[in-house]
Amino acid sequence: MRSSYWMKTAEKEWFVTVYGKRLLFLFSFFLLAFALLLMHLGVIQIGRGEQYAFLALERQTRSLYLEDYPRGDILDRRGQSLTGRLQANRVVVFPSLIPDRTEAARFLGTVLGVPADRISPYLTGDPAYLPRDLTPGMVETIREKGMPGIVVLPVSFRYGPRPLAVQVVGYLGRAQSRTELAALQNSSGKAYQLNDWIGQAGLEKFYEQELKATRPRDAARLFVDAAGRPLPGLGLQFASGRKDPGRRHVVTTIDARIQQVVENVMDRRVKKGAVVVMDTRTGDILALASRPAYDPRPEALPGYLLTGEKGTFMDQATALFQPGSVFKVVVAAAALAEGLVTPDSRFTCRGSADEPVRCWYGPGHGNINFSRAFAESCNPVFVRVGLELGPEKIIEYARRFGLDNQAITGYPVTPDPRQDLGLIAASHNLVNSSLGQGPVLATPVQLAAMINVLANNGTYIQPRLVMELRDDGGRPVRTFPVEKGHRVLPPSVVAQLREMMEQVTTRGVGREAYLPGCGSAGKTGSAQVDDHGRVNAWFSGYAPVHDPRYTITVLVREGISGGESAAPVFREIMEQILPLPPA
């Protein structure tokens, strides 16, 4: 009896234990599932709540975005839009609210001074704004009329009358490929649709994923039912100035004041070419301009594509060209640093009778020292110095000056593989290379950085074009610090080269670049581009001469010479930007 009792008791304990463990397991399982569900709801509510609320609002309304291209801005260093973004009043129509569309077309046509049949297409279908500028009188008349479904609202336009730095900023185009859209969506996490406007070149392309908006800042909305009929009593609603959590704004190092000066001068003096203005102390690019230029508004682009003018869309400031005699700075630096010459070393120039390369000055410079040969850009002297240096030393110093580095901080242009300093060492290349021709290629930005080494007392700083990315509230979310510089030349060599470059503008072939009062220094270049005497004319230099603020490189394609074509452009730009207060 007792044995049977203990067996039954043991069975009960076993059952309770096993059943209790199962209950505990199930309880833990459901508790974990509930916790995960709460976490998921928290993510939706906190992390994506705004996004889902916005999508719900879009389904409940017929909306008109009051922004022609919903994207982040591309700004200069002081926050000025480089595309010229502006706001302007427009007539906004919601056709479903207009009781008599014929009367509305006649009224708007009379006010705007256009035939009614040009208004009628906008009064059917989806909400729209009329592409017509309004005077204050027009605005007052339309508002006084108070016609249902017709209002005047401010619309934000990406492009103003004169955008700046268009080759750098780039342009927009319609997305055509589903593969392209899928790649953008996967990398950015943003929604893309066919025919969305996306960046096709320049900063618009490089920062497409950051610039892309996730919602409009300004919108006019009409609440509708499931059948799309307006809900009575709610009327039109206008949402303005809302922050977009997804869009970013690109803040460049460009100073719009300096950029405007550069472009004004180029419009008068440079049909084809480029100008780079650099802050001497930081390496920041304050202006970057190319000619020919174009109007980046999407409606204007087809006209340029039809004409097919070569170079219209090219950023020539980052393209490769033969630098001509500006490269003599490298040869001179190597020769002085290696002790091969001093500024007073003597040479003989026989002009057009010299070999293997004749001098541009037919009678010859005669007995001339190295400093004077630099100021006069005497080719025979630099050929002899280059041959004595040898290709290895020239290559070494060209690399020290950054002529193998096409990188620009914040501006990820794909490097051009044609730039290969090693070709200087190839057979029969050394003579032409010593004069900055043959296989020697450099971009205007690179030459500005090279000359900036001397303006900056021997320190090379990689150029920078983008300072930071900001969110829609103006807070930095990513920064691009100034690159740490490194010394290229000893101070003694820098002092010798600076004195020689000063002689270029006071006694030599670059006198047209001289600035009375503060002085300037630099080097001319004239790189032959064909057998018809056409040259790419260069001047690269800095000012003021004793306390440099700006380094400028000017390229005038198909010019006469560096001294005649490029140096005056340098002087005119520098004269206008030096009085400007610092940014």
pLDDT at 303: 83
Confidence of residue 532 (pLDDT cuts 50, 70, 90): confident
- Residues 6 or more apart in contact with residue 79 via CB below 8 angstroms: 251
**Stretch (H or E) spanning 451:** helix 444-455
**Stretch (H or E) spanning 11:** helix 2-42
- For 285, phi then psi, to 5°, come to -85, 115
Bridge-based pairing of strands 521-528 and 466-470 is: unpaired
Which among 537, 528, 536 is positioned nearest to 563, based on CA atoms?
537
Share the mean pLDDT of the chain.
89
Confidence of residue 41 (pLDDT cuts 50, 70, 90): low
Which among 529, 438, 394, 466 is positioned nearest to 202, based on CA atoms?
466
Q: How far apart are CA 46 and CA 53, in angstroms?
A: 11
pLDDT at 60: 46
Helix %, strand %, coil % of the chain (to 5): 40, 20, 40
Confidence of residue 50 (pLDDT cuts 50, 70, 90): very low
The CA–CA distances, whole Å, from 100 to 50, 95, 118 equal 38, 10, 16
The residue whose two tokens read 């100035």 is 241
pLDDT one-digit tens code per residue, 115-171: 999 999 999 988 999 999 999 999 999 999 999 989 999 999 999 999 999 999 999
Q: How large is the average pLDDT for residues 48-68? A: 60
The 10 Å Cβ neighbour count of residue 216 is: 18
Q: What is the dihedral of CA 448, 451, 455, 457, to 10 degrees?
A: 120
pLDDT at 193: 87
pLDDT one-digit tens code per residue, 78-128: 999 999 999 999 999 999 889 999 999 999 999 999 999 999 999 998 899
Q: CB burial class (10 A; 0-12, 13-18, 19+) of residue 317?
A: buried
Per the CB < 8 A criterion, the answer to whether 551 and 451 are in contact is yes
- Going through 253-292 in order, the beta strands assigned E by DSSP cover 273-279, 285-291
Q: Is the peptide bond before 356 cis (omega within 30 degrees of 0)?
A: yes
Per the CB < 8 A criterion, the answer to whether 101 and 120 are in contact is yes
Bridge-based pairing of strands 236-239 and 521-528 is: unpaired
pTM: 0.87
CA 90, 95, 96: angle at the middle one, nearest 5? 140
pLDDT one-digit tens code per residue, 396-441: 999 999 999 999 999 999 999 999 999 999 999 999 999 999 999 9
The CA–CA distances, whole Å, from 202 to 168, 266, 308, 416, 465 equal 5, 20, 19, 16, 12
Q: How far apart are CA 413 and CA 409, in angstroms?
A: 10
Per the CB < 8 A criterion, the answer to whether 380 and 436 are in contact is no
Confidence of residue 9 (pLDDT cuts 50, 70, 90): low
Radius of gyration of the chain from its Cα atoms, rounded to whole angstroms:
34
Q: How far apart are CA 22 and CA 211, in angstroms?
A: 54
pLDDT one-digit tens code per residue, 271-316: 999 999 999 999 999 999 999 999 999 999 888 877 766 778 999 9
Q: How far apart are CA 496 and CA 329, in angstroms?
A: 11
Q: How large is the average pLDDT for residues 484-504? A: 96
pLDDT at 48: 46
Q: Is the peptide bond before 121 cis (omega within 30 degrees of 0)?
A: no
The encoded tokens of residue 578 equal 């030096």
Per the CB < 8 A criterion, the answer to whether 242 and 217 are in contact is yes
pLDDT at 359: 93
Q: How large is the average pLDDT for residues 457-463? A: 97
pLDDT at residue 53 greater than cutoff 80: no
Confidence of residue 27 (pLDDT cuts 50, 70, 90): low
Residue 246 is given by DSSP the state S
Per the CB < 8 A criterion, the answer to whether 394 and 334 are in contact is yes
pLDDT at 215: 87
Q: How large is the average pLDDT for residues 332-336? A: 98
- For 526, phi then psi, to 5°, come to -140, 100
pLDDT at residue 229 greater than cutoff 80: no
Bridge-based pairing of strands 86-93 and 366-369 is: unpaired
Confidence of residue 473 (pLDDT cuts 50, 70, 90): very high
Length of the chain: 583
Per the CB < 8 A criterion, the answer to whether 540 and 447 are in contact is yes
- Residues 6 or more apart in contact with residue 233 via CB below 8 angstroms: none
pLDDT one-digit tens code per residue, 356-406: 999 999 999 999 999 999 999 999 999 999 999 999 999 999 999 999 999
The 10 Å Cβ neighbour count of residue 124 is: 12
Q: How far apart are CA 424 and CA 340, in angstroms?
A: 19
For CA atoms 345, 346, 350, 355, the dihedral sign is negative
Between 538 and 14, the more confident residue is 538
Q: How far apart are CA 499 and CA 140, in angstroms?
A: 66
